[in-house]
Each structure stands twice: as C-alpha cells, then as structure tokens.
Amino acid sequence: MSAFVWNEKYRVNVKELDEQHRVLIGLVGQLEDAMREGKGKQALGLILGQVINYTKTHFAAEERLMKACGYPEYHEHRLIHEKMSARVTELEQQFKAGKVMITLDVMKFLTDWLQKHILGTDKKYSPFLTSGSMN
C-alpha cells in the first residue's frame, strides 16, 4: 500500500477542493501501488492518464474559485498549474513513447510535487477562500 495517503494536514477547508485533493492523492497512491506490484505498461498508462486528467479538472476548479473570489495571487497560482500540467503531459507522452518508465523517481516527483503544492501553494488560498462562503 502506498505511503502517500490522505491526511488532515492536506485540508484547505474548501469542501470541493479537499475532496479533489483526496481523489488526487488516491490516484497517485494507486499508481504507486501498481508500479510496485509490477503491473504492465497498459495498466500504469491508464492510471497515469487518470492522474493527469483529474489534475486538469482540479486545477480548473481551483482557478474558478480563486478567480470568483478575486484571490490576489490567482495569476501566480495559475502559472504554477500551467507549468505542472506541461510537465505531467510531457511525462505521459514520454511514457507512451517508451522513453520513460514509472519508477520510484517518477513517483517521488509526483508525490513531492502534490504534497508541496497542497501544503504550500494551496494552503495560501485557504484563509482567503474560507473567509467567504466557499466551504
């Protein structure tokens, strides 16, 4: 079982976003479990695709809420999302082309990024969004 699981420390106190973070963490955990179990490329590719697609859905939801509330760091946060989206899309393309495997290094990148993004960047918007009626 993956060591990366939902924990209350990841809560940003916006129900929709907390639920999405929980799903993302679960998907990354599934990918890690599949990699450790030696699942084939097709299974890993399917889960990786789910991680990437759900990440895009989540980023859009965060950006919609930040923009609606006039979050002052919206543009900076959006740029971070764009860079991460480009990075994981590149990773997916390389994986499909057989140029990269899902390894411990790839998993460390995904888990580190998600942890740092939630605990750092996302936690910054938490007080701003929860001061209104977003939770």
Residue 117 near residue 59 (C-beta atoms within 8 A): no
Six-digit token string for 133? 């009626």
In a domain, 43, yes or no: yes
Q: What is the average pLDDT value for the chain, to the nearest integer?
A: 89
Q: What is the pTM of this model?
A: 0.89
pLDDT of the residue at 12: 95
In a domain, 113, yes or no: yes
Domain tally, the chain: 1
Q: What angle do CA 89, 95, 101 make, to 5 degrees?
A: 125
Identify the residue whose tokens are 């939630």: 118
In a domain, 46, yes or no: yes
Q: DSSP letter for 119, please.
A: I
Given a cut of 70, whether residue 134 has pLDDT beyond it is no
The whole domain housing 116 covers: 13-130
* pLDDT tens track for 3-60: 789 999 999 999 999 999 999 999 999 988 988 898 878 888 898 899 899 999 999 9
Half-sphere exposure in the Cβ direction for 27 (13 Å, CA): 20
Confidence of residue 122 (pLDDT cuts 50, 70, 90): very high
Q: What CATH number has the domain bearing residue 40?
A: 1.20.120.50
Range list of H helices, 1-135:
15-36, 41-69, 74-96, 104-116, 123-130
- What CA–CA distance (Å, rounded) separates 21 from 114? 9
List of residues 6+ apart from 12 with CB closer than 8 A? 18, 21, 118, 122, 123, 125, 126, 129, 130
